[in-house]
A and B are shown apart, each in its own frame.
Chain A
Amino acid sequence: MFGDYSLGDLGSIFVMQGFAGLILFSVYVLMALGLAIIFGQMGVINMAHGEFMILGAYVTWMTSNLFQTYMPGLFGGYFFLAMILAFLASGALGMLVEWVLIRHLYKRPLDTLLATWGLSLMLQQAYRSVFGAREVGVELPQWMLGSLQVTSSIEVPINGVFVMCLTVLITIGVAYVMFKSRWGRQVRAVVQNRIMAGAVGINTEKVDRYTFGLGCGIAGVAGSAFTMIGSTGPTSGQLYIVDTFLVVVFGGAASLLGTIASAFSISQTQSTLEFFMSGSMAKVLTLLAVVGILMLRPQGLFALKVRK
């Protein structure tokens, strides 16, 4: 298949393909981080994760409209404010959902699957009623469009670089909060032993609520960032949910490092395969590999050693 191309051409294509894999990796990490916290740390199977992402996307859309109407001069920077608002909106909704629904289900983790699936249907219909059934187009500032010309034949999409930077920042942020901060220690304590954590004076209900809110908030930021590369409609969240669970489960549910490793291996496999065969076949082979590995290693790539 490469007979007709010059060596230079091939070189630059492989560089760009490498970037494509890295971008896919960042996208996977970004969408899986929120779920890794909720599913991995709290054990809640949150089927509405995609809808929390789309809430972030809709907030971005509204912010962009707001800036266009009232502050067209500042339009270039609206995206940063939009991401913060998306975090707050999805996080707030997440805390509300935790208070109304999830906290009654901690002892019945499988029921959270049904409950959150119902929640996702309700949210989809709510978006449809509020924003309309059609997709909305989120307008981006000019500087975020197009690509960086690295050499004459190597071009890197700007929005891809943006997603990569964002992913790195958020991952560092989450790692710091979970492993270095006092609050993170409380979260881990509650996860490991709820009763003991309560006994030493940790307000476990509050910790649960904020943890769930944090996971949903990160989903909102991811949704906001994905307006650059995907669609924004009432059911767009469904596009991400399968891949998200795939990444989290494959990585080992309770491990942040596992999520990152799994996102890396899945994205690299997929983008390499996609280049050599058709997109559908690449997906099939990737999924087959994941299924095969999970059969040999049901706990995922990285599992915490716990005393059973």
Chain B
Amino acid sequence: MSDETNKGLLSPLRRKLLVGMAAVPAITMLPRASFAQAPATSAVNTTGLAVTDTEVTVGILHSATGTMAISETGSIEAEKLAIEQINAAGGVLGRKIKFIQEDGASDWPTFAEKAKKLLVNDKVAAIMGCWTSASRKAVLPVVEQYNGMLYYPTFYEGLEQSKNVIYTGQEATQQILAGLNWIAKEKGAKTFFFIGSDYIWPRTSNKIARKHVENVLKGKVVGEEYYPLGNTQFNSVINKIKLTKPDVIFTDVVGGSNVAFYKQLKAAGIDLAKQPLLTISVTEDEIDGIGGENIAGAYACMKYFQSLDNPNNKAFVPAFKKMWGEKTVIGDVTQAAYLGPWLWKLTVEKAGSFDVDKIAAASPGVEFKGAPEGYVRIHENHHLWSKTRVGRAKLDGQFELIYETADLVEPDPFPKGYQ
């Protein structure tokens, strides 16, 4: 109000002068703020991606249907939240992020097909997606052939590195070694019983864990068992555990089997408060299905827990619940999926371009200080430096943080001496 009346009193010339003076501070800031906010599309997009003066399109590629929807729903939710927050904060290089969501339908060829569609037809600037290693392996040749950028959220077995992928989850050594060290020291554990689902991730992880137990911790693996995916009967292996009396049960059972395993463990009278169990496959998401009372007392080795006490996480958890409902829980992978869009935004701004080659080159060294898990940084090998944490499951389905590494753990997708 008062501005309007004042302006009316000023002569046209004075008004022009004043406007000019007001613009001075803005002009001095131009090279940093204004140019960086909306540089010409032709300058930041030389390869014909879906970038306009006001918008940039990315793809979300997860299973919203099929078996894997159980796990991937959280990742979709986290990525949408991150995109919404980035847009609310002004977008990327002055452009709002628009997303196209495709459904991989828990079927690996479908993943590859949809990835091709996103890259070739929609020309997306990046894809946030995949969950299982099988889906990533199916998509990998596509993103490499059409030079796309994939942000992959799941902790996985390692043994992979690509110019076209940023791995926002942990590779196997980051997830396993620190946890084994901790439990060996804390519980004086010498004997370990491994049990996993029968596919590449548990087998590779257990191979690494076995080498570490035998060569570094000088302990003994008293049993190593695999069950087919979807197995629902674990009474025999539980008897074997009772017979061998290991100091630690180390598990990477996944999916519906997970629920069956913990329910039967509890029913067989194995008290997780007395029998240490370390899992690398149970997050808050899985506990929803397992039931807190069946798994309370177990230790999980992750990089993120919903209960983490830091300012970033205290803002992230309520924002997530506000968007997706009070009852939703946030597991390790959900948080890693949330990092994808943010890391991409930061990398684009560092590179000053949406071009995939420039992003791939600019990625190493990109830091994200606002990550709910705390500070993370992209390594030369396109994995993340992040901390390893051990939490103990509580009755209410949350984890209590028991231990975290003092420093960020270096990602090492091709660990020497562990293969």
Contact = CB atoms under 8 A, between A and B. Distances in A.
B25 to A, nearest CB: 51
B256 interface: yes
B236 A20 contact: yes
A17 B236 contact: yes
A16 B70 contact: no
B227 A279 contact: yes
Interface string B254-269: 0111111001101111
Interface stretch (B60-68, B178-186, B341-349): B60-68
A125 interface: yes
Given A134-B285, A137-B289, A229-B263, A279 B65 contact: no
A139 B232 contact: no
A119 to B, nearest CB: 16
A289 interface: no
B2 to A, nearest CB: 54
B70 A233 contact: yes
A56 B259 CA distance: 17
Contacts of B290: 137, 231
B193 to A, nearest CB: 12
A147 B235 contact: no
Contacts of A233: 70, 256, 289
B144 interface: no
Interface range for B: 35 or more
B232 A229 contact: yes
B228 A134 contact: no
B267 A280 contact: no
Given A139-B293, A280-B227, A238 B67 contact: yes
Contacts of B286: 135
Contacts of B242: 13, 16
A7 to B, nearest CB: 13
A160 B73 CA distance: 33
A114 interface: no
B225 interface: yes
A135 B236 contact: no
Interface in B266-323: 266-269, 285-293
Contacts of B65: 125, 128
A146 interface: yes
A136 B289 contact: yes
Nearest to A19: B235
B232 A239 contact: yes
Nearest to A236: B256
B237 interface: yes
B239 interface: yes
Contacts of B259: 135, 137, 230-232
B291 A13 contact: no
A158 interface: yes
A231 B236 contact: no
Contacts of B255: 231
B69 A240 contact: no
A282 B233 CA distance: 12
Nearest to A227: B263
Interface range for A: 35 or more
Interface stretch (A186-194, A256-264, A270-278, A292-300): A270-278
B228 A228 contact: no
Contacts of B231: 239, 279, 283
Contact of A229 (B243, B267, B269): B267
A20 B265 CA distance: 12
B267 A160 contact: yes
B288 A136 contact: yes
A138 interface: yes
Interface string A138-149: 110000011101
Interface in B112-159: none
A133 B239 contact: no
A24 interface: yes
B266 A146 contact: yes
A200 B364 CA distance: 83
Contact of A128 (B69, B258, B289): B69
Nearest to B66: A235
A109 interface: no
Contacts of B288: 134-137
Given A128-B65, A136-B289, A160-B267, A274 B237 contact: yes
A6 B131 CA distance: 46
Given A13-B239, A20-B238, 20 more contacts: A17-B236, A20-B235, A128-B65, A128-B69, A133-B70, A134-B285, A135-B70, A137-B287, A137-B292, A139-B291, A145-B266, A226-B232, A228-B263, A228-B267, A229-B260, A229-B263, A238-B230, A271-B236, A275-B236, A280-B198
Interface of B: 64-67, 69-70, 73-74, 198, 224-228, 230-233, 235-240, 242-243, 255-260, 263-264, 266-269, 285-293
7 contacts: A5-B243, A16-B242, A134-B288, A137-B288, A138-B291, A233-B256, A239-B230
> A-B pairs with the 8 shortest C-beta distances?
A135-B289, A231-B259, A20-B235, A157-B267, A147-B269, A279-B227, A274-B236, A133-B69
